[in-house]
Each structure stands twice: as structure tokens, then as C-alpha cells.
């Protein structure tokens, strides 16, 4: 997490559902009613950069445990039960990008905010399974897979064709970075091998 990192700044703009725990006259605009008081119990989707601090800052001033938070929050739909069940069934079949372009970034933030043991386990397995799949695709796209298609397809139910493209389209930003790195690495390795042969 770096201050100047564009992706982590964009991740911080991801919104999560929050519920206000007090009346705030001046914040009606957050709920599309700029002239009215924001009432206790109003549910508003707030970006992480705002939600996180409002959730941990207590209304008694400092960051102590006394007093209640300004807001409470729930898991965003991207990490909701439907998605988690689908990930449990087959991590490769879920286009994470449709849930959030910064899926893992968002998930990491949520883990920091609350203990979600089960979710953490599912996500870790998701990442590892998908990373393997990504590495496989990265080699294929570079045209540097194994000889013939058969061995490259082992352990994967996705071919080079439509399904593979669909999988790649569904990568979140972190996975895209991984894909680019794996791809560049495979390509550089291939070029190096060819150069060695030449000389």
C-alpha cells in the first residue's frame, strides 16, 4: 500500500455499505438530500477512504474504544454470500472484475477491518487457484507453452478459445498485473533461449 500508487488510490474509492449511528445535520448530501439531516440508521454506500476512518473513529473524539463509531459497515456485495459460494464451487469460473476491478484490494481492506476467517480461507484458495490458471494462460498467449496443446491444457478446463478469453477478461487489476508479469517473463525467457541457441 503506497501513498502514490494509482491502483491503491482507486481501490480506496471502492464503496461499501455503511449505516450511520447518529444524526448529522450537515451530511445529508451523502444520501442525496443535501438540505436535510442525515438520520441515524441511514444506509449509505461510502468509499473506503471515508468509511474506514468513520468506522474506527469513535464519537467521543479519539480512537479509543469508549463511545460508539460514527458508522457501522457490512461486507460489500462483491464479497457477499453469492460470490463466496460461487468461489467455493470453482474460483476460475467467477469473473472477479464484474464484482470489482480491485477485488483483492477491496477484500484485503475488509479483512483488515473485521475478522472473517472463513472468507480469508476462501480468498486465499481463490488467489492460488486462479494464479496458476493465469500463469498457464500467460505462457500460451506468448506462444511459449509446452509442445502441443495437450500438456498445457492439463489441469485446466479452459481452452485457448472463447472460455480462456472470458477468464482473462474477468481478471481484477492485481491479477492483470500478475498476468502481464508472467507473460513478459515467459517471453523474455523464450527470447533468451533463442539467443543462446543462435550464439
18 in Cβ contact with 41 (< 8 Å):
no
Q: Which of 19, 41, 67, 80 binds another protein (CB under 8 A)?
A: 67
Q: Minimal distance in Å, beta carbon 98 to another protein?
A: 19
Length of the chain: 199
- In the shown chain, the binding pattern of residues 6 to 35 toward another protein, with x for contact by CB under 8 A and - for none, equals xxxxx-xx--------xxxxxx-xx-x-x-
* Residue 192 near another protein by CB under 8 A: no
5, 82, 166, 191: residue in contact with another protein (rule CB under 8 A): 5
Closest among 110, 102, 156, 111 to 131, alpha carbons compared: 156
Residue 52, interface with another protein (CB under 8 A)? yes
Which CA distances in Å does 111 have to 12, 93, 114, 150? Answer: 14, 23, 5, 39
Burial code (b: 16+ CB inside 10 Å, e: under 16) for 142-174 equals bebbeeeeeebbeebebeeeeebeebbebbbbb
Q: How far is the CB of 32 from another protein (least distance, A)?
A: 4
Q: Write down the least CB distance from residue 69 to another protein, Å.
A: 10
Q: Closer to another protein by CB, 70 or 73: give it.
A: 70
Interacting residue ranges for another protein, rule: CB under 8 A: 1-10, 12-13, 22-27, 29-30, 32, 34, 47, 49-50, 52-54, 57, 59-61, 67, 70, 195, 199
Amino acid at each position: 500500500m503506497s501513498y502514490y500508487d494509482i491502483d491503491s488510490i482507486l481501490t480506496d474509492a471502492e464503496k461499501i455499505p455503511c449505516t450511520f449511528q447518529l444524526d448529522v445535520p450537515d451530511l445529508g448530501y451523502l444520501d442525496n438530500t443535501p438540505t436535510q439531516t442525515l438520520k441515524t440508521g441511514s444506509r449509505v454506500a461510502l468509499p473506503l477512504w471515508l468509511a474506514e476512518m468513520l468506522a474506527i473513529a469513535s464519537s467521543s473524539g479519539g480512537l479509543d474504544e469508549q463511545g460508539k463509531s460514527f458508522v457501522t459497515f457490512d461486507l460489500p456485495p462483491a464479497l457477499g454470500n453469492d460470490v463466496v459460494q460461487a468461489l467455493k464451487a470453482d474460483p476460475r469460473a467467477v469473473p472477479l472484475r464484474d464484482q470489482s476491478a480491485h477485488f483483492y484490494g477491496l477484500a484485503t481492506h475488509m479483512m483488515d477491518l473485521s475478522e472473517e476467517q472463513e472468507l480469508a480461507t476462501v480468498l486465499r484458495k481463490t488467489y492460488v487457484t486462479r494464479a496458476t490458471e493465469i500463469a498457464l494462460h500467460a505462457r500460451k498467449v506468448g506462444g511459449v507453452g509446452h509442445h502441443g496443446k495437450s500438456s498445457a491444457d492439463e489441469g485446466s478446463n479452459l481452452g485457448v478459445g472463447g472460455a480462456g478469453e472470458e477468464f482473462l477478461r474477468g481478471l481484477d487489476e492485481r491479477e492483470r498485473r500478475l498476468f502481464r508479469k508472467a507473460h513478459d517473463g515467459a517471453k523474455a525467457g523464450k527470447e533468451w533461449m533463442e539467443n543462446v541457441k543462435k550464439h
